[in-house]
Amino acid sequence: MDIRHPIPTNGGEWVTQFGEIWRGQVADLKKTFDGAIEEVKMPQADATDVPIIYVKRDRLVEVLKFLKETDGFEYGFLADITATDESSELRFEVVYQLFSQSKLCRIRVKVRVPEGVSVPSAVSVWKGADWAEREVYDMYGVQFEGHPNLRRILMDERWVGHPLRKDYPIKGYQIFTDPQAVDPERLK
């Protein structure tokens, strides 16, 4: 038994409740963004709880904007931005969890990037994407193009390395005795 086994007390009814909506949305997306959708994983067919849309990097913001603003999609709530380290040629997958507050269903958008290649920033679509993208940069070193202020967020700004990469050592120290100074530039 795995995720395909529906649990009634834990989102088990989603597939029957939203299956039709999801299929329609995926067909719509494929029609509108011809060629920009690399791959789609659907619940039940694949081991996932909601559909995963793999988008080409250069059209990501367009797709996110479309998902947010188009009637019938209305994924207005950005639940999360994160990444995974797949240790393959296309090393990182940046993951966007979206939630539609009117349709009450969720969807996941992913974009695959090799190391050293930047992802377009979603700050123009959601202002709140700012810190989430900074965290992805801090933890994985994925650059976001067009981000207003891409600095480390959880770690010290002088930190070397990106901790959530799979090749990052688990033990080790980097000790800073001086505090991080105030940056007057950011108060202008």
Could you list the residues that contact other proteins (CB under 8 A)?
1-5, 7-11, 47-50, 52, 76-80, 82, 84-85, 95, 97, 101, 104, 106, 108, 126-128, 130-132, 135, 139, 153-156, 163-164, 168, 170, 180, 182-184, 186-188
CB of 29 or CB of 138, closer to other proteins: 138
Residue closer to other proteins (CB basis): 3 or 27: 3
Cβ at position 110, least distance to other proteins in Å: 10
Select 2 or 34, whichever has its Cβ closest to other proteins: 2
**Is the Cβ of residue 54 or residue 77 nearer to other proteins in the bound state?**
77
Question: Cβ distance 119 to 111 under 8 Å?
Answer: yes
Q: By three-state DSSP, how is residue 18 classified?
A: helix
From residue 138, give the alpha-carbon distance in Å to each of 147, 148, 164, 170, 186.
Answer: 13, 15, 9, 16, 19
- The least CB distance from residue 170 to other proteins, in Å, is 6
Burial of 118 by CB count in 10 Å (0-12 exposed, 13-18 middle, 19+ buried)?
middle
Contact yes or no for 11/49 (Cβ under 8 A): yes
